[in-house]
Chains A and B, each alone.
Chain A
């Protein structure tokens, strides 16, 4: 079964800390997404990547295709980064609609 696993499930950090959220998947993929969901809010796409590394502001996403693993890093974390971060993948051969989602990592950043 094609699966996506995220760790940790919950994460509490102090403002300013460097944060890492991990995502691993079971078989080959064509693309991996990192999404952000604020409490009571909608879902926003942060990154889509197939290889290497992407950076946007304080957010960095990396992917290692050989190890089937991706990480989302947040530098100089801030309370407004508190949200659920979701990893999703499109497995090779899957139709465009067939994204498989992880269960999410709930991040809380304390001031």
Chain B
């Protein structure tokens, strides 16, 4: 299994540009999430999905869109990039085990907006 894959690994955008961060998993997990990681802060949830066709907002959703047309893919779209979106983005998939959800993280995408 490849696990959770993300592309690209690095990206530089100009303010106002749009782009899509790709995320895919091959473990048939129903749950997928997008987080951003900023210096001095814990990871924060952007959007998540509990299954194909179902998405919901997390803590910091503004400026981002998601869709979940298949179980495997969960792309994150930046509509009009802003310098405040400079961050490292992690995609994760998870499955329920007992009272919690086992988490699998992708390798991350480092995004710089100038």
Interface residues of A (CB under 8 A from B): 4, 30-33, 35, 41-45, 48, 50, 86, 88, 90, 95-104
Contacts and interface: CB of A to CB of B under 8 A. Distances in A.
Contacts, number: 74
B33 to A, nearest CB: 5
Contacts of A103: 40-42
Given A31-B101, A50-B100, 5 more contacts: A45-B104, A45-B105, A48-B102, A95-B50, A101-B42
B48 A96 contact: yes
Given A42-B90, A50-B100, A103-B42, A95 B105 contact: no
Interface extent on B, as a size class?
20 to 34
Given A42-B105, A45-B103, A101-B42, A96 B50 contact: yes
